[in-house]
Structure 1
C-alpha cells in the first residue's frame, strides 16, 4: 500500500464545480535508468488511475513509463449530492492502492 495525498472539499453547494487533487508517492522507474554500478533498474510504474464519485467513474488515466515519480492529478467535477469520492491507483504488478473522501453537498 502506497502513501497517498488527496484533497476533496469538505462541503459544496449543489451544482458547484469543485477541484479534486490526488497524488501517490511512487518511485516510477521507466526501465532506462542504471545504478551507479551499471545495473539496469527494472520498470516500476503505476499503470492506471481512476476516480469515482457516487459510484460512477469520473476520471480514468492510463499511465506509461514516461510519467514522473509521484504522479499528481488535478481535475474538476460537479457536486451533485453527498457521496464518496474514491481514488484507485494500480501498479504494473497489480497492487491496488485506494483512498477516499466524503464530499458533503448542501
Structure 2
C-alpha cells in the first residue's frame, strides 16, 4: 500500500473542487538502473473517486503519467460535510484508498 494521498475538497455554489496528490513512483518500464538492467514498470492504472456511493470520476492511466501525480476535478451535487473517497490501483496489484470531508 502506498503512502496516504493528500486530498482537499471544497464546495462553492454547489460545485465541489477536488484536488488529490498521490505518492507513487510511476516507473515507465523503459529506464535502466546503474547496472544496465531495465527497471520494471510500476504505475497507477486506475483511479476512482466517489461521493457517497456514486462514482463522480474514473480514469485509466498508463506509464506516461509523472511520479507523484496530481489530479484535479470538479463535480456537482456535493455539500459541506460530505465525504469524497479516492481509490487507486496499480499494475502490480497495490492499491490505496483515502477520503476527505468537503469544506
TM range (shorter): 0.7 to 0.9
Q: TM-score, normalised by structure 2?
A: 0.87
| 1:98 to 2:97 alignment | yes
Which stretch has the larger CA shift, 33-42 or 74-83?
A: 74-83
Q: Which runs of 5+ in 1 are unaligned?
A: none
Structure (1 or 2) with the larger CA radius of gyration: 1
Moved over 3 A (4+): 79-82
- In structure 1, C-alpha distance between the alignment counterparts of 2:100 and 2:87, rounded to whole Å: 12
Match of residue 5 from structure 1 = 6
Q: Which runs of 5+ in 2 are unaligned?
A: none
Match of residue 57 from structure 2 = 59
Q: Secondary structure at the match of 2:62?
A: coil
Match of residue 73 from structure 2 = 75
In the TM superposition, what is the alpha-carbon distance from 1:35 to its structure 2 partner? 0.8
- In structure 2, C-alpha distance between the alignment counterparts of 1:80 and 1:36, rounded to whole Å: 49
Count of residue pairs the alignment pairs up: 101
In the TM superposition, what is the alpha-carbon distance from 1:79 to its structure 2 partner? 3.6
Match of residue 28 from structure 1 = 26
Note the aligned Cα RMSD (angstroms): 1.6
Q: Secondary structure at the match of 2:102?
A: strand
Q: TM-score, normalised by structure 1?
A: 0.85
